[in-house]
């Protein structure tokens, strides 16, 4: 199974925010530069994460993006499910629907495999993702200008 680029960018942004010091909010541009990804793509991912209650935007002096407590405790499986949406791993429907789609054992097996993939990620939290060695590397990332 392959995640969308959108999901990957959202998870990268979450991991960067997860290692920010308390009260050290980052801008979207700082996240984009640290993770070496385009600003506009990160902005879209951050907007979605805010809608999901994973990230909050703090206003005023020292403002910026921060992970919410719920976001830090969030299951990676839940995040990936929400970010990926209802899509299946194969395109059975669409412009040229497959004639087997109403009675396909392969489709059922692939749905089960997709669910097993998410279930594997369910016990993992965002906090788990940034334990060593990942966390120290994230903290040490030096941003470079993105798009
Ligand atoms: S063979 Fe089955 S899984 Fe493949 S496209 Fe057709 S319905 Fe979907």
Q: Tell me: the pLDDT tens digits for 67-122?
A: 999 999 999 999 999 999 988 899 999 889 999 999 999 999 999 999 999 999 99
Question: What is residue 82's predicted lDDT score, i.e. its pLDDT?
Answer: 96
Burial classification of residue 85, based on how many CB atoms lie within 10 Å of its CB (0-12 exposed, 13-18 middle, 19 or more buried)? exposed
Please name each of the domains of the chain with its CATH number: 5-140 (1.10.10.10)
State the pLDDT confidence band at 9, using cuts at 50, 70 and 90.
very high
The distance from CA 124 to its chain's CA centroid, rounded to whole angstroms, is 13
In testing the pocket of ligand 1, which one of 1, 87, 93, 98 has its CB within 8 Å of the most ligand atoms?
98
State the pLDDT confidence band at 142, using cuts at 50, 70 and 90.
low
Helix, strand or coil for residue 67?
strand
How far, in Å, is the centroid of ligand 1 from the Cα of 100? 6
The reply to whether ligand 1 has any atom less than 6 angstroms from the CB of 57 is no
């Amino acid at each position: 199974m392959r995640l969308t680029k959108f999901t990957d960018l959202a998870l990268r942004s979450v991991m960067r925010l997860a290692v920010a010091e308390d009260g050290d909010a980052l801008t979207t541009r700082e996240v984009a530069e640290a993770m070496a990804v385009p600003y506009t793509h990160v902005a879209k991912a951050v907007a979605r994460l805010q809608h999901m209650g994973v990230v909050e935007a703090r206003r005023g002096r020292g403002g910026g993006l921060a992970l919410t407590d719920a976001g830090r405790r969030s299951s990676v499986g839940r995040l990936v499910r929400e970010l990926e949406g209802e899509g299946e791993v194969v395109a059975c429907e669409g412009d040229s629907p497959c004639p087997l789609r109403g009675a396909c054992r392969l489709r059922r097996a692939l749905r089960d495999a997709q669910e097993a993939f998410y279930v594997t990620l369910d016990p993992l939290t965002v906090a788990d993702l940034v334990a060593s060695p990942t966390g120290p590397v994230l903290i040490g990332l030096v941003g470079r200008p993105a798009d």
